[in-house]
Amino acid sequence: MSAPARHASGATVDFEHVSKQYDAHAKGTPGAVNDLSFHVPAGRICVLVGPSGCGKTTSLKMVNRLIEPTAGRILIDGVDTAGRDVTELRRGIGYVIQQVGLFPHQTIAQNVATVPRLLGWPAARQRERAEELLALVGLDPGRYRNRYPRQLSGGERQRVGVARALAADPPIMLMDEPFGAVDPIVRERLQNEFLRLQEDLAKTILFVTHDIDEAIKMGDLVAVMQLGGKLEQFAPPAEILANPASEFVARFVGADRGLKRLSLSRVSELDLRPAVIARVGDASAEARRRSATDPFPYLLLVDESRRPIGWIADAAIPSEGRLDERLAHSMSPLINRRTTLKDALSMLLDADVQAGIVVDRTGAVLGLVTADMIAERMRETAGDARFAAVDLETIERAGAIGAIEGAAQPSEPAPT
Amino acid sequence: MIDWGWVADHLDHVAFRTLQHLYLAAIALAIGFAVSFAFGVIAARWRPVNVVSTAIAGLVFTIPSLALFAALVPVTGLSILTAEVPLVLYTLVILLRNVVAGLQAAPPDVREAADGMGFRAAGRLWRVELPLAVPLIIAGLRVATVSTIGLVTITATLGDALGGLGFFIYEGMNRFFLTEILVGAVPTILLSLVADRAFVWLQGRATPWAPPRGLQPESNA
C-alpha cells in the first residue's frame, strides 16, 4: 500500500480553556462545553468519548469552526484558529461524519476529489488523487469511480467518506462517529483498516464516539467527557482503565474494565511457558519420563514440522512403543502472537486443557499461555499505566512550553 | 358526427394555432420559472420571505382565471400582456413551492459535510443544493407546463388574436360545432401529454444519480 503522506504528518492541536454555552443561564445544556483544555501531539489519535449531550461533538466542531467557542482558544500547530479564514481553515482539515454526507449527485471519484476541486487543482491531478485514495481505502477505482453513492453499501460509503477527507492530505482529521452507522462486523473491519492506514499517514486525529470500547481501541489518548461538557480524564487508554480518575470514569468504562485492559495487550508481550512436546514416532517411554518431570499434566504431540496435533495426558502415555497420532485426545485453541490477551483468555475458557498453544506463522509451536500468566501480566501493567501517565505529563509540559513560546511574540500577552 | 372535410380545410390554421399555443405557454413558463427561481433562492434561505411569498402565490391561485383576465382588461387591454400575466401568476404557485422545497431537499448530513469541507455559501448553493433540487424543480415544471397548456385555451376569451388552440374551442362553442371544439381540445390534450413525457425523459437524463422511479435505493448490506 502506498503512503503518499509520509512527509505530511499531523499538526498539534491544543484546546485552551475552551467553553461553549448555548444559554447564558443554564450550564447543563446538552452540547455545552465547559473549560476544556488538552493537548494532542502531532500524529496521534485523540478520542473524545462520553454520554450523549456531553459536548464531544460540539468540541470537535469547534476545531473547524462549524461551531464557534464562547470562550477560550483552539490552536493548530500553535496558531489560533479564530484568526484564520474559516474557509481556508476547513479545507485544511479532513472531516468525516457518521452519516457520511456524500454528495448523492456526484460520482464516487467526484466526491473524493471535492476538496482538491475547491482548492483549484488541475482536473487530471484531481482524478489521479481520487483513484489513489480509492485504492488506499480498499475500493477498486475501476469498479467504483463512476458509481453514485446510492449504489454503495454503508461500509463502502464510509470508506469513500474517509477517502474524501484525506483527499487534500490535511494534517488533521476530525471524525465524528465515523463507523457508527455500520453493523458491528463491518465496523470492526473499518476500524482495523483505519488503524493500519494511520500507521502510514500519521495524521493528528480527533475522533468522537460514545462507545468506550471503540475509544480504547482507536485512541492513543482518550478524553472522557461528562454531561455539562466537563473533561473528566485525559490519558492513554491503559491509564484510563487501570486508574480511572473519578467515579464517573470508572462507571463509564464499566465494571469489566479489567477485561477491557486485556484487549490492549497482546500475547507477544508475554514470556511464554515452554511446552513439553514430543513428535509422532518418538519413543513413548522417553516421552513419558520427560513429561513426568514437568508439573503440567499433559504432553503436547506435534508433527515433524512442530505443528501441534493434540494433548496426551501423562497417565495415558504408553510405557513402551512409539507415539502415535491416535493417542492425542484433545486440542487447545491455537493462538498467534498478535492475539489480544482478551481473545486468548476467552479461548482458554472454552478449552479442555487450560493452556493455549502459541504458534508462529508456519503453525509451529512457540510455547504455552495460561490464564495465570494473563492475570500476572495484568498485575504488572497496572504499574505500567502509571508510567504512561508520567509520559503524558511530559507531553503536556512540552505542549505548554510550545504555547508559551508561540505567545512570546511582541504585543501579545503571555497566557497564564 | 365529425366533419372531416372541415378539418382538412383548416389544417393550416390548426398548425398556426398550435404554434401560438406553444408560444403563449412557453412565455408564461419561462417568465414564471425565472421569477420562481430568483425568489426561491431567497425564500429557501430566509424563512419570512418563504412564508409571505407562498401565502401570496396561494392566494393568487384561488382567483378564478376568467375573473383575473376580466380584471386585467381595463388595465392592459386585449393584449398579450393580459393573457400572460395570469398565466405567469398561476405557474408561480407551483414552481415557487417546488424550487424552495428542492433547495431545502439536501439532507442535513450533506450540508454539514459541504460546510465542513470548506464550501462557501454560494459554492454550496450552486454545486450542492441546486443539483439536488433538480428533481423537484423538474417535477414542478412538469405540473406547471401541463396546467399552463390547459389554461392557454381560456385566453381565447380575450379575442381572436389570442387563445392558441382555445380559439377553436371558444368559436366551436359559440357555433355549437362539435368538430371545431374537438379540433381545439384534442391537440391541446396531446400537447400536454407530450410535454409531460418530455419532462419525464429530461428528468431521467438530468439526474442519473437519482434512484429510478418506483425502485428503492439499494440496500445497506
Compare all CA atoms of chain B with the CA of A112 and give the residue at the minimum distance.
Answer: B117
pLDDT at A369 (0 to 100) = 92
Nearest CA among A213, A235, A214 for reference residue A224: A235
How is residue A204 written as a grid cell? 493528528
Q: How far is B97 from chain A (nearest CA, A)?
A: 22
Does domain A13-253 fall under CATH 2.40.50.140? My reply is no
How is residue B87 written as a grid cell? 398565466
Nearest CA among A90, A97, A229 for reference residue A175: A97
> How far is the CA of A345 from the CAs of A298, A350, A380, in angstroms?
19, 9, 17
pLDDT in tens, A17-34: 999 988 766 556 788 899
How is residue A61 written as a grid cell? 466542531
Distance between terminal CA atoms of chain B?
62
Q: Which residues of B touch A (CB under 8 A)?
A: 107, 109-120, 123, 128, 131-132, 134, 207-211, 217-221
Q: Do B112 and A97 touch (CB under 8 A)?
A: yes
Checking DSSP bridges between strand A221-226 and strand A45-49, what pairing results, if any? parallel
Q: Do B115 and A66 touch (CB under 8 A)?
A: yes
Which residues of B are less than 8 Å from A95 in CB distance? Answer: 113, 116-117
As a whole number of angstroms, the distance between CA B83 and CA B72 comes to: 9
In chain B, what is the greatest distance between 2 CA atoms, to the nearest angstrom? 70
B121-141 CB burial, b ≥16 within 10 A, e <16: eeebbebbbbbbbbbbbbbbb
pLDDT at A257 (0 to 100) = 81
Q: Do B220 and A104 touch (CB under 8 A)?
A: no
Which residues of B are less than 8 Å from A184 in CB distance? Answer: none
pLDDT over 60 at A391, yes or no: no
pLDDT at A251 (0 to 100) = 92
Long-range contacts of the stretch A282-286 (C-beta < 8 A, 24+): A282/A322, A282/A323, A283/A322, A283/A323, A284/A317, A284/A318, A284/A319, A284/A320, A284/A321, A284/A322, A284/A323, A285/A319, A285/A320
pLDDT at A26 (0 to 100) = 59
Residue in B128, B207, B218 closest to A103 by CB: B128
Residues in chain A: 416
Residue A39, strand partner residues? A14
Q: Where are the alpha helices (DSSP H) in A28-183?
A: 56-63, 86-91, 108-112, 114-118, 123-136, 141-144, 154-166
pLDDT at A328 (0 to 100) = 87
Which residues of A are less than 8 Å from B116 in CB distance? Answer: 64, 66, 90, 93, 95, 97, 101, 174
Checking DSSP bridges between strand A79-80 and strand A71-76, what pairing results, if any? antiparallel
Residue in B118, B207, B220 closest to A118 by CB: B118
How is residue A33 written as a grid cell? 462545553
Residue in B120, B131, B219 closest to A87 by CB: B120
Please give, one letter per residue, the 3-state secondary structure of B145-186. Answer: HHHHHHHHHHHHHHCCCCCCCHHHHHHHHHHCCHHHHHHHHH
How is residue A415 written as a grid cell? 497566557
CB A207 within 8 A of CB A47: yes
pLDDT over 60 at A406, yes or no: no
pLDDT along chain B (221 residues), means of 10: 90 95 96 94 87 85 85 88 92 91 93 96 94 95 96 92 93 93 95 95 91 50 34
Q: CATH 3.10.580.10 spans which residues of chain A?
A: 268-373
CB A108 within 8 A of CB A149: yes
In chain B, helix, strand, coil percent, each to 5? Answer: 80, 0, 20
Partner B contacted by A91 (CB < 8 A): yes
With bands split at pLDDT 50, 70 and 90, how would you rate the model's confidence at A388? Answer: very low
Partner B contacted by A90 (CB < 8 A): yes
Which residues of B are less than 8 Å from A93 in CB distance? Answer: 116
Choose from A103, A115, A150, A152 for mutation: most chain B CBs within 10 A.
A103
Which residues of A are less than 8 Å from B113 in CB distance? Answer: 95, 97, 100-103
Instruction: Give residue A413's region: left, alpha or beta (phi > 0; psi -120 to 50).
Output: beta
pLDDT in tens, A144-194: 999 999 999 999 999 999 999 999 999 999 999 999 888 888 898 899 999
Residue at grid coordinates 492513543: A220
Helix (H, G, I), strand (E, B) or coil at A311: strand
Compare all CA atoms of chain B with the CA of A98 and give the residue at the minimum distance.
Answer: B109
Checking DSSP bridges between strand A298-302 and strand A308-313, what pairing results, if any? antiparallel
Q: Do A102 and B110 touch (CB under 8 A)?
A: yes
The ipTM (two decimal places) reads: 0.83
Helix (H, G, I), strand (E, B) or coil at A74: strand
Q: How far is B94 from chain A (nearest CA, A)?
A: 24
Compare all CA atoms of chain B with the CA of A164 and give the residue at the minimum distance.
Answer: B117
Q: Do A103 and B114 touch (CB under 8 A)?
A: yes
Under CATH, which architecture does the A268-373 domain have?
A: Roll (3.10)
- Looking at chain A from residue 110 to 129, which residues have their Cβ under 8 Å from any Cβ of chain B? 114-115, 118
Compare all CA atoms of chain B with the CA of A103 and give the residue at the minimum distance.
Answer: B110
Determine how many CB atoms are found less than 10 A away from the CB of residue A319.
8
pLDDT over 50 at A409, yes or no: no
Q: How far is A325 from chain B (nearest CA, A)?
A: 45
A48-71 CB burial, b ≥16 within 10 A, e <16: bbbeebbbbbbbbbbbbbbbebee
CB A96 within 8 A of CB A180: no
Q: Do B209 and A100 touch (CB under 8 A)?
A: no
User: Residue A151: phi, psi to the nearest 5?
Assistant: -90, 5
Average confidence (pLDDT) over A37-56: 94
Nearest CA among A165, A172, A154, A167 for reference residue A99: A154
Nearest CA among A75, A32, A73, A71 for reference residue A50: A32
Partner B contacted by A190 (CB < 8 A): no
Q: Is B81 exposed, middle or buried (0-12, 13-18, 19+ CB in 10 A)?
A: exposed
Choose from B103, B126, B136, B220 for mutation: most chain A CBs within 10 A.
B220
Compare all CA atoms of chain A with the CA of B207 and give the residue at the minimum distance.
Answer: A105
Which residues of B are less than 8 Å from A174 in CB distance? Answer: 116
pLDDT in tens, A333-355: 889 888 888 888 988 888 888 88
Long-range contacts of the stretch A228-232 (C-beta < 8 A, 24+): A228/A27, A228/A28, A228/A32, A228/A34, A228/A54, A228/A55, A229/A19, A229/A20, A229/A31, A229/A32, A229/A33, A229/A34, A229/A36, A229/A54, A229/A55, A229/A58, A229/A59, A230/A34, A230/A35, A231/A36, A231/A37, A231/A38, A232/A50
Residues in chain B: 221
How is residue B44 written as a grid cell? 429557501
Give me the total of CB pairs closer than 8 Å, taking one residue from chain A and one from chain B. Answer: 77
pLDDT in tens, A94-139: 999 999 999 999 999 999 999 999 999 999 999 999 999 999 999 9
Does domain B7-206 fall under CATH 1.10.3720.10? My reply is yes
Residue A73, strand partner residues? A16
Give residue A302's identity as a one-letter amino acid code: V
Compare all CA atoms of chain B with the CA of A166 and give the residue at the minimum distance.
Answer: B117
Residue B190, strand partner residues? none
CB A72 within 8 A of CB A63: no
Compare all CA atoms of chain B with the CA of A115 and give the residue at the minimum distance.
Answer: B117
Nearest CA among A63, A57, A66 for reference residue A10: A63
- Measured N-to-C along each axis, helices B178-206 and B11-45 cross at an angle, to the nearest 10 degrees, of 40
